[in-house]
Chain A
Amino acid sequence: MKKIISHVAFGLLGLSVSAAVVAGPAEDRAAFQKFYENRFPDTPVADFQNGVYSILPAAREQWEAIEEFPPYELSIERGEEIYNKTFANGKSMASCFGDDGAVRGQYPYWDRDRGMVVTMELAINECLEANGEKPLKYKKGAIADVGAFMSFNSRGQKVNVEIPSDDPRALAAYENGKEHFYTKRGQLNFACADCHMYTAGNLYRADTTSPAFGHATSWPVFRSKWQSMGTLHRRFAGCHNNIRANPYKAQGEEYRNLEYFVTYMSNDLEYNGPAARK
Chain B
Amino acid sequence: MNRRSILKATGTITAAAAAVAAFPRLVFAAYSEKAFKNPKVEDSLNELFGANATTPSGDVKLKAPDIAENGAVVPIEVTTSMKADKIAFMVKENPNPLAIVAEIPEGTEATVKTRVRMGKTTQVTAVVSSNGKLYTASKEVKVTIGGCGG
- Footprint of B on A, CB under 8 Å? 52, 58-59, 61-63, 65-66, 73, 76-77, 80, 102, 152-156, 195, 203-207, 209, 224-225, 227, 239, 242, 277-278
Contact = CB atoms under 8 A, between A and B. Distances in A.
Nearest to A203: B147
Contacts of A80: 7
A278 B69 contact: yes
A227 B73 CA distance: 10
A206 B146 contact: yes
* Most chain A beta carbons < 10 A, residue from B6, B7, B147, B150: B147
Interface stretch (B49-57, B60-68, B78-86, B132-140): B60-68
A55 B147 CA distance: 18
A66 B73 contact: yes
A3 B148 CA distance: 24
Given A58-B67, A62-B65, A73-B10, A224 B147 contact: no
B69 A242 contact: no
A206 B75 contact: no
A224 B7 contact: no
Contact of B144 (A156, A206, A209, A239): A206
B149 A225 contact: yes
Interface string B108-139: 00000101000000000000000000000000
Given A80-B7, A155-B1, A61 B72 contact: no
Interface residues of B, number: 26
B145 interface: yes
Contacts of A61: 65
Given A58-B67, A206-B150, A242-B148, A76 B72 contact: no
B25 interface: no
Given A76-B7, A155-B3, A62 B69 contact: yes
A166 B117 CA distance: 54
A205 B3 contact: no
* Most chain B beta carbons < 10 A, residue from A102, A205, A227: A205
Nearest to B142: A206
A157 to B, nearest CB: 10
A224 B65 contact: no
28 contacts: A58-B65, A58-B67, A59-B69, A62-B74, A63-B69, A65-B113, A66-B75, A66-B115, A76-B7, A77-B7, A77-B10, A80-B7, A102-B3, A152-B6, A155-B3, A195-B148, A204-B148, A206-B144, A206-B145, A206-B147, A207-B149, A209-B148, A224-B69, A225-B149, A227-B72, A239-B148, A277-B149, A278-B149
